[in-house]
Structure 1
Amino acid sequence: MQDQSRKRHIAKTITWRIVGTIDTILVSWYITGNPLTGLKIGFVEIITKMVLYYFHERVWFKINLSEKGIIQESRKRHIAKTFTWRGVGTLDTMLLSWLITGNPLTGLKIGLSELLTKMILYYLHERAWYRTNYGLPNRK
């Protein structure tokens, strides 16, 4: 089961990173007016976000909130995961955008703009993955 869940988390990491990187590039390009800056921020994020996302998935896998009676329904769990991931992701985006542009205000604008777009996209991504059994051979 452990190996299967790792495969699932790696696959989710890759699919989310594709969606997230496209969003980052477009938002950064829109805010800076420079497509090259959008590409730089997006491509640097590929590495940082994949590592952070993988560990986020592992933590959520290990803390089974339904057993503790805290979160039982999948939609509530996915909403909770959305908020925790968005906090981590937004901080990463702000810092990278600041470093790449040299402007902390630009980093803040990009990070805050992504809050809404990424939360919606992440929730939809979680719901899509919930409907697949990949990496969960015992789930019915």
Structure 2
Amino acid sequence: MKDITHLRHLSKSISWRVVGTIDTIVVSFIITGEPLLGLKIGISELITKLLLYYVHERIWFRITFRNSKLRHMVKSISYRFFGSVDTFLLAWLISGNSVSGLKIGLTEVITKIILYYIHEEVWHKFKFGLPQKQETNEKQ
């Protein structure tokens, strides 16, 4: 059971990183006007965010909520906080401009919360990597 949940979290990490990287590249390009800078920031996040997301998934796997929509919202906000700090620092470091880093980080607060919520809702519908509950035979 432990191995299958790790596979689910790894798969979710990769799928989210694809969505998140595209968003970072687009937002960085729009704010800086430099496509190469957007690519550099987005590619840098592949490393930092993949690790950050996996750790976040493992922590949230242990937290239960009765309401899945509320859980997804709280989880989205908690991840976005750490993700925004990471984005701000990377964008500042790569661009050399703290204002650009701040603009990129703040813009992504909005775009990424929306995208992450959608990502969680989609993954909630898939049972891949979740342990199967054994059903009892009620006809006996």
2:138 alignment counterpart: none
Map residues 1-140 of structure 1 onto 2, 5 A cutoff: 1-62=1-62, 64-65=63-64, 71-138=65-132
2:137 alignment counterpart: none
Q: Are the structure 2 counterparts of residues 79 and 58 from structure 1 closer, same or farther at C-alpha, using a change threshold of 3 Å?
A: same
Separation in 2, partners of 1:96, 1:111: 9
- Given that 1:133 and 1:139 are in contact with CA atoms closer than 8 Å, whether structure 2 keeps it comes out as no
Amino acid corresponding to residue 134 of structure 1 in structure 2: F
Cα displacement (A) at 1:139: 5.2
| Structure 1 runs not aligned, ≥5 long | 66-70
| Structure 2 runs not aligned, ≥5 long | 135-140
1:68 alignment counterpart: none
Separation in 2, partners of 1:42, 1:25: 5
Cα displacement (A) at 1:137: 3.4
CA offsets per residue over residues 9-49 of structure 1, 9 Å max, x none? Answer: 00000000000000000000000000000000000000000
Larger Rg: 2
Separation in 2, partners of 1:81, 1:94: 20
